Amino acid sequence: MTKTYQTGDTVSGKVTGIQPYGAFVALDDQTQGLVHISEITHGYVKEVSEYLAVGQEVDVKVLEVDEKSKKISLSIRALQEQPPAAQKTEKPKQSLQSHVNESDSEGFNSLKDKMQEWIKRSGQ
């Protein structure tokens, strides 16, 4: 690493490679880091290539610098505004019993009648 990068730095770089697990970004002539697939954008990313292309200039945030292994973890998502959470409309939960129509002439009563008929037939 020619330049020293610190956790929290925001830098520009160029995408140099795309893999199923993320994209490699060159920060300078000697240094590159990895943007993991989970750090590309908010939400689910199925294909990295749907969001990034080799040669594309991107702004990234340095998440972690491992001096021993000389690896830098980067994020594009950290620089994006988080989308508002989807509003769930809470419906009051109903018990299964509330769906049963007790006065229904079919349903369990017809089953009860059929059961008696089946028992008689099985004994013959």
Q: Is 111 left (phi over 0), alpha (psi -120 to 50) or beta?
A: alpha
Q: What is the pLDDT of residue 41?
A: 94
More confident residue, 95 or 82: 82
More confident residue, 83 or 51: 51
Q: Where do the H-state alpha helices sit in the chain?
A: 108-122
Q: Is 118 left (phi over 0), alpha (psi -120 to 50) or beta?
A: alpha
Q: What is the pLDDT of residue 115?
A: 81
Please give the full DSSP string across 25-39, using - where no structure is assigned: EESSSS-EEEEEGGG
Please give the model's pTM, rounded to 2 decimal places.
0.66
In angstroms, the CA 59 to CA 66 distance is: 20
Reply yes or no on whether the pLDDT at 4 is more than 70.
Answer: yes
CA angle 6, 8, 13 (to 5 degrees): 75
Reply yes or no on whether the pLDDT at 18 is more than 70.
Answer: yes
The position carrying tokens 């508002």 is 84
Q: Which domains are assigned to the chain?
A: 9-81 (2.40.50.140)
